[in-house]
Structure 1
Amino acid sequence: MRTVYALVDCNNFYVSCERLFRPDLRATPVVVLSNNDGCIVSRSNEAKALGIGMGEPYFKIRDMIEPHGIEVFSSNYALYGNISARVVSVLRELAPRMEVYSIDESFLDLTGFHRPLAAYGRFIKAEVERLTGMPVGVGISTTKTLTKLANWAAKKRSQSGVVVATRPEQQVALLKAAPVGEVWGIGRKMQCHLTALNITTAWDLAQQDAKSMRKLFSVVVEKTIRELRGEACYGLDDGPEPKQMIACSRSFSERVTELPALREAVASYASRAAEKLRGQGDLCQLLQVYIRTGVFNPDEPRYSRTASVPLTTPSNDTRDLVHAALAGLASIYQPGYRYQKAGVVLMNLTSPKHIQPDLFAPAPRPSTDALMATMDRINANMGRGTVRLARVPASAGWAMKQQLRSPGYTSRWAELPRTL
């Protein structure tokens, strides 16, 4: 049976999340900034029409804000994660299998559906908007690469926001209309290489000899060509593969010069990494911690070091990981520098069922699993950081700059919307 996939992609996701609770901004240019309010990572269509580019530094558009009435928001990750989870919960009811591809994209398996696909695509779009308020585009085709292209067309070339490309003539039209840079997996560098070969559209790429392109570039390009021709090379995953590495790092809102502040930051990052580790049900066997100064000021002395700390007993206990991270920090910290960033990386991840106990290792902490599960449950229900280690401050001067963050509409009791 021929596979049929749908890709549901939220439009301008971060901006749309902000507009959910600010309907007065529906026709206003809106942008959302990256960590520490550095660059633009999401733009409304009105902001795009003003020529504001993705990744553009915030300071470059400051002069445009007042004349054009642009609304600017700091990233509100708690809000975006919550809205994403709501969209996913709706989509799970609309298809027998799905793959959450990113925070704003999900693949649905529509193989074997006997309903008209265009009508069902419109139903998916309407249902998501009805239950979550999020505008989405829906692309439907027979391979994941073609489905991604159909979704591009749904957003760029369709008034309904739905495009179906399951028949050969539909796929040919789609391939001829799509620039090669819009093909899934074709990055900027690869696009330059292909353009030099006079391959400028998805159709041009699909006409190439797959084996020759594999020798010239990679097996990924070969599979991309085969997928563009309608041959499914990538299956639908029931869920994301467990991460082989978990990292948590941030640039400080201001330079850090003292060890106590660095210890707070590293403890905070290790705590967050531990939450992610427990979320995928794994244990950590090796932890890395790093610190570095800024790299763009030639007048400041530079320093960058990394420490690796093996865990005698693999663990996902926040206390163990924070202890290891702070031990690593102590071994690499040097006074006299203005530190700009720190991070914690959990490595050599493994499942608890693959661990061979060590007779000579210290006995594990009693009731660790129950304590961590209770801690995670409270934080999930009451907001991140409700229960935390004493080493982790509720707020800090080095914390990420979010001067323009919207309220925690869905994650903080004190910031819930109120009607007067």
Structure 2
Amino acid sequence: MFALVDCNNFYTSCERVFNPNLRNKPVAILSNNDGCVISRSDEAKEIGLPMGAPIFKWENYCKQHNIEVISSNYPLYGDMSDRVMKILSQFTPNVEIYSIDEAFLQFKGFENYDFDVYGHDIRNRILQWTGIPTCVGIAPTKALSKVANKIARKFLKETGGVYIIDSEEKRLKALKWTPIEKIWGIGHGLQKKLKAAGCKKAYDFTQLDSTMVRKKYSITVWKLQQDLLGKSSITLEEDKARKAIATTRSFEYTYADIENIKERISTFAVNCAEKLRKQGSCCHMIVVLLRSDRHKHNQEQHRVSKTVILPFPTNSSLTISKAAVAAVQTIFKSGIKYKRAGVILTGLVPEDNFQLDLFTKEDPKHKPLMNAIDQINKKYKSNQVKLGNQDLERTWKMRQERLTPKYTTNINDIIVVK
């Protein structure tokens, strides 16, 4: 059996754990730079605040309906997510973290377990230990567990937050209830094709000839159909080293000067290098991106990228940052107001197994230095040690005018009980 455990309105729930005054009130969480709504409480949904609403257009609406608007507090959400995932690993060793707020669990050798009781145990422990409400969907396959989770969330009072598809009757009933656009893994394009083929519900999709599905669509779509038929075809994904690592961000404001952009590029490059070292890889190539604000139609636009091929594979923040900053200087255009930039590392190889060059190599001092920096930053759970050309105050410069305290990751923000 598989389970999908999904945190309810995760960002909002994290804020409510540390600020109980937000409970039973409409709450909206904003994206980077306080741009648009990316998470809403059930109360905000009922009022009619749409997902993705640009806050500058909906500001008055939020004030009229007393919707509490909060900037994204990613350090808090990341730490709370880590706590939830660690609790899930106590129920089974087979856990696939699917996103920041949901995970798949596989139960091998649990044949004699009462999954209704077990599902409620999972939900209750997470709620008791973290304060985060969840819903649990349990079924014979991953795709069906996703459907079961949606039913548990939709009918929260009736199910108690836990729903199990453990019979053919329940499977058919669930599929006939689920619209085709709500099936996990079916994107907008495939949705159009399936609707054209007469599929309005998930059940209709399972009735299509499986041979035709495999030929006309893809092996992935066929596996999804088999999963919905109750034949487990989609397995838990193992952690794999990424083939490319990227950090791309919008700036807090538009920048027309090279110095600010060089600082941002250096910070992005260092962040990528840290991820490289974490997964035990080195890179051969660096791609630097620079973009103007595409929404400002009255301003001159400039979209450009630069690829740098390194003479040797590296994961040194010093080497990668230096190459990235040099690259952005060659593509920067004076007079342009830039809004977004990014660094992509590709051509990845294992750090302990790659082709050496006869004439050039990494400075041998870099490896122990990077190791020391990583250990210090890990110990203090923040980027305390930075390069000289980085901003010493913040890692990401984002507009966060409604930011709440970092209750669990900053010693100065810990709640004091009086």
* TM-score bucket of the superposed structures, by smaller chain: over 0.9
Residues 282-322 of structure 1: CA deviation (Å, up to 9, x unaligned): 11111111112111222211112111111222111111110
Alignment of 1:221-236 (within 5 A): 221-236=221-236
Q: Does the 8 Å contact 1:382/1:411 carry over to 2?
A: no
Partner of 1:20: 17
Partner of 1:200: 200
Q: CA deviation at 1:396?
A: 7.1
Partner of 1:393: 391
Partner of 1:216: 216
Q: Does the 8 Å contact 2:314/2:362 carry over to 1?
A: no
**Is the partner of 1:407 in helix, strand or coil?**
coil
Partner of 2:335: 336
**Is the partner of 1:353 in helix, strand or coil?**
coil
> Counterparts of 1:177 and 1:15 in 2: how far apart (Å)?
28
C-alpha root-mean-square deviation of aligned residues, in Å?
1.7
**Is the partner of 2:267 in helix, strand or coil?**
helix
**Is the partner of 1:9 in helix, strand or coil?**
strand
C-alpha distance 36-147 of structure 1, shift in aligned 2 (>3 A) = same
Q: Does the 8 Å contact 1:253/1:397 carry over to 2?
A: no
> Counterparts of 1:407 and 1:71 in 2: how far apart (Å)?
15
> Counterparts of 2:311 and 2:85 in 1: how far apart (Å)?
38
Partner of 1:66: 63
> Counterparts of 1:208 and 1:317 in 2: how far apart (Å)?
52
Candidates 368, 385, 403, aligned match of 2:401 = 403
Partner of 1:123: 121
Bigger shift: residues 61-70 or 251-260 = 61-70
> Counterparts of 2:219 and 2:49 in 1: how far apart (Å)?
36
Aligned-pair identity in percent equals 37
Q: Does the 8 Å contact 1:255/1:398 carry over to 2?
A: no
Bigger shift: residues 111-120 or 258-267 = 111-120
**Is the partner of 1:283 in helix, strand or coil?**
strand
C-alpha distance 397-390 of structure 1, shift in aligned 2 (>3 A) = closer
> Counterparts of 1:396 and 1:227 in 2: how far apart (Å)?
45
Are residues 1:46 and 2:43 paired?
yes
> Counterparts of 1:279 and 1:397 in 2: how far apart (Å)?
18
Partner of 1:280: 279
Partner of 2:412: 414
> Counterparts of 1:397 and 1:277 in 2: how far apart (Å)?
18
**Is the partner of 1:354 in helix, strand or coil?**
coil
C-alpha distance 212-334 of structure 1, shift in aligned 2 (>3 A) = same
Q: CA deviation at 1:361?
A: 1.2
Bigger shift: residues 400-409 or 189-198 = 189-198
**Is the partner of 2:246 in helix, strand or coil?**
strand
Q: Which residue identity is paired with 1:224? A: L
Partner of 1:105: 102
Q: CA deviation at 1:398?
A: 8.7
Are residues 1:37 and 2:34 paired?
yes
> Counterparts of 1:102 and 1:174 in 2: how far apart (Å)?
24
Partner of 1:353: 352
Partner of 1:294: 293
**Is the partner of 1:148 in helix, strand or coil?**
helix
> Counterparts of 2:316 and 2:402 in 1: how far apart (Å)?
34
**Is the partner of 2:248 in helix, strand or coil?**
strand
* Number of positions where the alignment pairs a residue of Structure 1 with one of Structure 2: 415
Residues 213-257 of structure 1: CA deviation (Å, up to 9, x unaligned): 2333332221111111011111113x4322211111111121101
C-alpha distance 5-403 of structure 1, shift in aligned 2 (>3 A) = same
Partner of 1:304: 303
Q: CA deviation at 1:187?
A: 1.6
Structure 2 residue runs without a partner (length 5+): none
Residues 305-364 of structure 1: CA deviation (Å, up to 9, x unaligned): 111111222111111110110111122112111111111111111212331222211353
Candidates 138, 153, 156, aligned match of 1:155 = 153
Residues 142-193 of structure 1: CA deviation (Å, up to 9, x unaligned): 1111111111111112421101112211211111111111111112232233
> Counterparts of 1:53 and 1:193 in 2: how far apart (Å)?
27
Q: Using structure 2 for the length normalisation, give the TM-score.
A: 0.95
Q: CA deviation at 1:397?
A: 12
Residues 373-409 of structure 1: CA deviation (Å, up to 9, x unaligned): 3322322332422111111112479921111111111
